[in-house]
């Protein structure tokens, strides 16, 4: 696959793709924290050149939807179990057809709208705590086309093999920042509680 990605945040990875969740299923995306305990990283960057296919409340997508985002339609109970505010980018690789989509969830604020064309490394949003979330962070996911929902990650793929520049992320003006580490650690439920709140592990 000729897709090249840049990390969508300079923040620390607080939950890796594939980590086992409390329900026993693997995490279908990768979470980037709002803070490392000293610095804050509110910016969300486009992982690749692409078109904004959706920018809004994930509950507006209806069900079913092509990104398998399970929206919470009940807005009368004051409980939101959706993906919150989401941006979906469609990416092409030398052709007219989209080959993959990337998603950016739990956002506080959008800096782009549907139909915009964005460049890799361009800031597209600000991290938030919308939807089913326990602290400001970015939930990032990658889906190749044609979509394959017959996986335990609901069609999402591991983005890490596609992140370029030796695993470095980029920010404004293409400045290289911190490396993206691997492999993915597995956290206990107690550790995950702290991670979801963006609290450094003891």
* pLDDT tens digits for range 45-58: 999 999 999 999 99
Average pLDDT for the chain = 83
Mean pLDDT of 140-167: 85
Of residues 189, 73, 65, 89, the one with CA closest to residue 131? 73
Cα 41 to Cα 92, 143, 197: the distances in Å are 28, 25, 14
* pLDDT tens digits for range 125-146: 999 999 999 899 999 999 999 9
* Per-residue DSSP letter, 67: T
pTM of this prediction? 0.80
């Amino acid at each position: 696959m000729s897709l090249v990605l840049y990390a969508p945040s300079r923040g620390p990875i607080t939950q890796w793709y594939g980590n086992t969740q409390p329900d026993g299923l693997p995490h279908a995306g990768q979470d980037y924290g709002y803070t490392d305990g000293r610095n804050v990283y509110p910016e969300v960057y486009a992982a690749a050149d692409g078109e904004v296919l959706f920018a809004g409340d994930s509950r507006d997508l209806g069900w079913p939807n092509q990104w398998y985002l399970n929206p919470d339609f009940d807005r009368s109970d004051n409980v939101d179990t959706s993906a919150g505010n989401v941006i979906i980018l469609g990416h092409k690789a030398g052709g007219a057809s989209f080959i993959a989509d990337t998603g950016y969830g739990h956002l506080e604020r959008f800096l782009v709208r549907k139909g915009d064309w964005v460049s890799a490394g361009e800031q597209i949003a600000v991290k938030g705590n919308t939807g089913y979330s326990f602290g400001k962070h970015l939930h990032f996911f990658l889906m190749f086309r044609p979509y394959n929902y017959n996986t335990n990650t609901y069609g999402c793929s591991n983005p890490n093999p596609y992140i370029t520049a030796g695993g470095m992320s980029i920010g404004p003006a293409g400045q290289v920042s911190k490396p993206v580490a691997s492999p993915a650690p597995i956290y206990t439920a107690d550790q995950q509680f702290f991670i979801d709140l963006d609290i450094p592990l003891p």
